[in-house]
Chain A
Amino acid sequence: MNRRTLLTSAALALALATTAFAQDEEITAGFIYIGPPGDGGWTYEHDQARQKMEAHFDGKVKTIYQENVPESADAERAITQMALTGADIIFTTSFGYMDPTIAVAQKFPDVKFEHATGYKRADNVSTYSARFYEGRAVQGHIAGKMTKTNKIGYIASVPIPEVIRGINSAYIHAKKVNPDVEFSVIWLYTWFDPAKEADAARALIENGADVVLQHTDSTAPQAAAQEAGNVITFGQASDMAEYAPMPRVSSIIDDWAPYYIARVQAVLDGTWESTDTWDGIGAGMVGIGEITDAVPADVKAEALALKEALASGEYHAFTGPLKKQDGSDWLAEGEVADDGTLAGMDFYVEGLTAEIPN
């Protein structure tokens, strides 16, 4: 057997193997991640959901993913590559993938796209997000009750509506229980950089904050808070239970698995269509992690009651009277914010002192 026939038969064998393989797997679902699955936060939860979804379909669905994809021109290349590899549905799991997702979707009309936390849709592009701000309301309540210095630090990532909503919601509910509370916000312009996140937490603590909220993806701020002692934090995107009971006193947990299962099922059934999903605590997309004993029992009870009220829809996290930062009226007494305003939120509520970078 000369070299050429050897190669040919090898190629043939490979091709056969792939076809045999492909018969079991009806569709391929692709995922684009902003960080590594081991970040312990945002990407970790997406990856857990991916694995649960794959297990749910028991071999019928193959999943592929690419991690550490920057929110730049690289994103378009990575998504295109994934579409070319034969993915039938692609989940792009960061806000900054919005325009790249739309651009690639135009080139691949037969591939379904699902973009997390964005607002641009097309015939083959759905969006999905969770009402994290409901979780932020619970955090704000606990933070306002527990701060002794009345200074709450907030590690923010990128100035997009989702992050601004979180800051507003946490502030409103902290202020409600503690009128003296002040927020310092640090913008990092990154979702994932453990060293920077730890430095930011340290800077906030050194400036007097004894509660640190984070909207970045790694557990680094938790470690920095633990080192400082007497500072409380909240798990972000994932439970981060390894830092309980102190500094982490509770958390917001993203649960994407039911959504991923439903959407992939729709592709299998041929019933997939472009939708806009925005679920909160009630639907189970946002979970509140266990509130630890570091929180006084009465505060814990109030926080759980708030969580229930948000879940049942009896209370909305943005309920008037509320004013914007510049003092203009936003919501009248008893009025609740509409989803359109929330989705595009680009202003702080009254009382927050800093400016939103643009």
Chain B
Amino acid sequence: MDLSSINPVLLIASIMVSATPILLAAIGELVVEKSGVLNLGVEGMMITGAVVGFAVAVSNTSPGLGFVGAALAGALLSLPFALLTQYLMSNQVATGLGLMMVGLGLSSLIGKPYEGMKAPPFPKVEIPLLSDLPIFGRMLFSHDIMVYFSVALVVAVWAFLKYTRAGLILRAVGEAHDSAHALGYKVRHIRILAILFGGACAGLGGAYLSLVRVPQWTEGMTAGAGWIALAIVVFASWRPGRVAVGAYLFGGVSVLQLNLQAAGADVPVALLSASPYLITILVLVIISARGAHAAPASLGRPFHASH
């Protein structure tokens, strides 16, 4: 077995690209679930973000605007979910699944004229000094801005939930919405904001697929990435740091197994193909085995002030 053709620098760089869409979607869903709402429509919001981001980027030849458009589209699509579940108290699971289907259908409708088009190139940002480092410069510090943004977002969400008053309120709403309500917090407003944030993040993740990772628009292109993001939130036991570990692990093993196949590694292919799922679940379960790993206590429960 000759694995010398695998270049570790390029491998790590590919892994970061591969992990970013799931990471963005998962960190958004984490905030939603922390507020006590289960939104299963991540896949639908991602693919809508993918198509809208692509359309905006192509029309304005600006990938940056594309990402903005994708975030808005994701948030906009999550708005009906927010209104239905928060004001009309509809079932979150059913509404989330509905949202997914709407997103899938809507995206193929919007995307028809954009099939076969090419995405405008998204420039890589060379971080001064750091990107000149041997090996690590190319590996870690020569990516497009969304890769850094996604990592910064994880840190920001972690700090927000852990250290800010607003983060504490969000967690309180997710853990015990009746108590939060009794204390005078606007449970529904807070949840709606969380849902919109989740939608925007999923939209960004989708746009990263259509503008950077693939890069083109193809109907149905998310192919289940939204569901992976949902699973990662659960296996990461609702911790931002672990979400990042999960997303990078999944993206990492996915790319690594392809490289091993390309290099002709002597490992059964079926095992390699299943490895991203197996390893990610295994590692997250092991690191979650100790300590608190319970879901937010009000997750998925509808809230009404009269109850």
List A residues at the B interface (Cβ < 8 Å).
35-40, 68, 153, 159, 184-190, 192-196, 198-200, 202-204, 206-209, 218-220, 223-224, 226-227, 242, 353-355, 357-358
Contacts and interface: CB of A to CB of B under 8 A. Distances in A.
Interface string B254-280: 110011011110001110010000000
Specify which of B117, B259, B269 lies most central, judged by the most chain A CB atoms within 10 Å of its CB.
B269
Contact of B221 (A195, A202, A206, A354): A195
Contacts of A202: 14
Interface stretch (B5-13, B84-92, B129-137, B191-199): B5-13
Contact of B118 (A196, A223, A357): A223
Contact of A68 (B118, B220, B269): B220
Interface of B: 5-7, 10-11, 14, 18, 21, 108, 111-112, 115-119, 209, 213-216, 218-225, 254-255, 258-259, 261-264, 268-270, 273
A40 to B, nearest CB: 6
A36 B225 contact: no
Contact of A192 (B6, B7, B220, B270): B220
Contacts of B219: 36-39
A218 B269 contact: no
Contact of A195 (B108, B209, B259, B261): B209
A196 B5 CA distance: 20
Contacts of B213: 195, 198-199
A209 B115 CA distance: 27
Contacts of B269: 159, 187, 355, 357
A206 B214 contact: no
Given A199-B255, A203-B14, A206-B10, A219 B262 contact: no
Contact of A242 (B116, B223, B258, B261): B116
A102 to B, nearest CB: 25
B82 to A, nearest CB: 27
Contacts of A358: 270
A184 B214 contact: no
What DSSP secondary structure best describes chain A's contact surface? mixed
A353 B261 CA distance: 12
B261 A184 contact: yes
A206 B216 contact: no
Specify which of A187, A190, A199 lies most central, judged by the most chain B CB atoms within 10 Å of its CB.
A199
A202 to B, nearest CB: 6
Contacts of B273: 187-189
A221 to B, nearest CB: 10
30 contacts: A38-B115, A38-B218, A39-B220, A159-B269, A184-B264, A187-B261, A189-B270, A189-B273, A190-B223, A192-B220, A194-B209, A194-B214, A195-B18, A195-B21, A195-B214, A195-B225, A198-B213, A200-B258, A203-B262, A207-B5, A207-B6, A207-B259, A209-B262, A219-B216, A223-B118, A242-B116, A354-B264, A355-B269, A357-B268, A358-B270
B220 A36 contact: yes
Nearest to B18: A199
Given A204-B262, A218-B221, A224 B214 contact: yes
